[in-house]
Chain A
Amino acid sequence: MDRFRRGDHEAVRELYGLYSRPVFAIALRSLGDRTLAEEVVQQTFVNAWRAAARFDPELDPAPWLYAIARRVAVDVYRRERRHREGRREETDMAVLPPSFEGLWELWEVRAAVDDLPEDERRVIEATFYRQLTHTEAAAELGIPLGTVKSRSHRAFQRLAGFLDHLGTETA
């Protein structure tokens, strides 16, 4: 964190590599726009850099970065809404849309998916997101059916182990 605070390129890229996808995921979910989501990612890391001196390096940076990212996304959402609706000042901005609900949960899942080995992640992407059967995934990925099944099973076990608490917390 000290190297990050000094703006060390390697440290910035390291932190970016670890957390840019969860930041991007919650920004994209909440704002529904890639350009705005990337703006949130950039501003989140800049704000984190500005605040890094006050961050305790003994702590997990994920909740800290999440809080910064969510705040930036809220600011961008309200700015865009004002722009869209031609308002000069807002008086009724307390309520956020449903797209801002459950963001921490999304962050956690995205981070857990990123922690998977690449070969397992590809199987999960193919079978959960693209809804391919194991046989179709085997053909698509060019690996034996048994390998797809074992990777899928292993990956799901890892994810379920990380994320057993889903649904027991509110974000």
Chain B
Amino acid sequence: MSCAEVLEAIARGRLEDQTVVNHLSVCAECRARSESAQILGRHLADPVMWEEPSSDLADRVVAAIDAETGQEERRPSRWRILGAAAALCVVVVGGMVWGNQPDWTVELAPGPAAPEAGGVIRGWNHAHGTRMVLEVWGLDPADENSYYELWLTAPDGRHVSAGTFRDSGSFEVVAGVRRADYPRIWVTLEPADEDPGPTSQTVLDTPNA
């Protein structure tokens, strides 16, 4: 058996075949490569490896990006962190460019972690989710180990993160969910760790949420 045949045999689960055992006893290179051959074989035998996404998923991806691109072309910069005054201009200009009023507006109440803060969020519903402009004031700038995160929460407790920012200002965000399904909109102060869930440090919240 050649080295290539031995490695293929190992990948096919024949590690204990006598010819394989004999070869490995005298071939250091194949011994060194036998673990990766076994791992490769396991992956190739895994059904997940051979599943295909639905044939229309590419169209859905293109449509989802299209839905954002149309407005992106008119407003080329997202997640701009601006001063409150400049931010207000952005929102006003944005509204004029879009030529319509927001579909909904929520005035956010200060949370326990930021009693001096305030905010308002305006939303435009579209086919693939919700585009929102969040204005925030009265927040201290987040330090380098933390950031603010905007959440949408459904009545059953499911959360969707709509984006992050570090200071008061105005921010345009897009979430792939419908506002009607996620009535609670709130902002938390998050530590810069690996946990993507919200902490209990609420700085702004939907009144009576």
Q: Which residues of A come within 8 Å of B, CB atoms?
A: 6-7, 9, 12-13, 16-17, 20-21, 24-25, 28-29, 34, 37-38, 41-43, 45-46, 49-50, 71, 74-75, 78-79, 82-83, 86-90, 93-94, 105-106, 109-110, 113, 124-125, 127-129, 131, 152-153, 156-157, 159-160, 163-168
Task: Please determine whether A166 and B39 come into contact, CB atoms closer than 8 angstroms.
Answer: yes
Partner of B53, one of A24, A83, A88, A166: A24
Question: How near does chain A come to B208, taking the closest CB pair, in angstroms?
Answer: 15
Partner of A105, one of B12, B43, B57: B43
Chain A binding site: helix, strand, loop or mixed by DSSP?
Answer: helix
Task: Please determine whether B49 and A75 come into contact, CB atoms closer than 8 angstroms.
Answer: no
With A75-B196, A89-B197 in contact, do A45 and B61 touch (Cβ < 8 Å)?
yes
Question: How near does chain B come to A69, taking the closest CB pair, in angstroms?
Answer: 12
Binds A, one of B18-26, B114-122, B138-146, B151-159: B151-159
* Nearest residue, chain B, Cβ from A127: B12
Chain B residues with CB under 8 Å of A168's CB are 36
Whole-angstrom CA separation of A127 from B8 in the bound complex: 11
For B24-37 the 0/1 string (1 means CB < 8 A from A) is 00000000010111
B1 interface contact, C-beta 8 A: no
B105 interface contact, C-beta 8 A: no
B58 interface contact, C-beta 8 A: yes
Task: Please determine whether B44 and A109 come into contact, CB atoms closer than 8 angstroms.
Answer: yes
Chain B residues with CB under 8 Å of A82's CB are 157-159
Q: Which residues of B come within 8 Å of A, CB atoms?
A: 4-5, 7-8, 11-12, 33, 35-41, 43-54, 57-58, 60-62, 64-66, 68-69, 72, 78, 153, 156-161, 174, 176, 194-198, 200
- Tally of A-B residue pairs with Cβ under 8 A? 159
* Nearest residue, chain A, Cβ from B61: A45
Q: Give the 10 A-B CB pairs with smallest separation, nearest first.
A: A7-B69, A128-B44, A166-B36, A88-B157, A109-B43, A166-B39, A167-B35, A24-B53, A90-B197, A45-B61
* Nearest residue, chain A, Cβ from B155: A88
Question: How near does chain B come to A158, taking the closest CB pair, in angstroms?
Answer: 11
With A28-B51, A105-B43 in contact, do A87 and B61 touch (Cβ < 8 Å)?
no
Pairs A–B under 8 Å by Cβ, sample size 28 = A6-B69, A12-B61, A17-B58, A20-B58, A41-B57, A42-B60, A42-B176, A46-B64, A46-B176, A71-B196, A79-B159, A83-B157, A88-B153, A88-B157, A89-B157, A94-B194, A105-B39, A106-B43, A106-B49, A110-B49, A124-B44, A128-B41, A129-B49, A152-B8, A160-B11, A165-B36, A167-B35, A167-B38
Partner of A163, one of B36, B47, B61: B36
* Nearest residue, chain A, Cβ from B44: A128
Residue from the set A34, A157, A166 with the largest chain B CB neighbour count within 10 Å? A166
Task: Please determine whether B78 and A50 come into contact, CB atoms closer than 8 angstroms.
Answer: yes
Whole-angstrom CA separation of A124 from B66 in the bound complex: 37
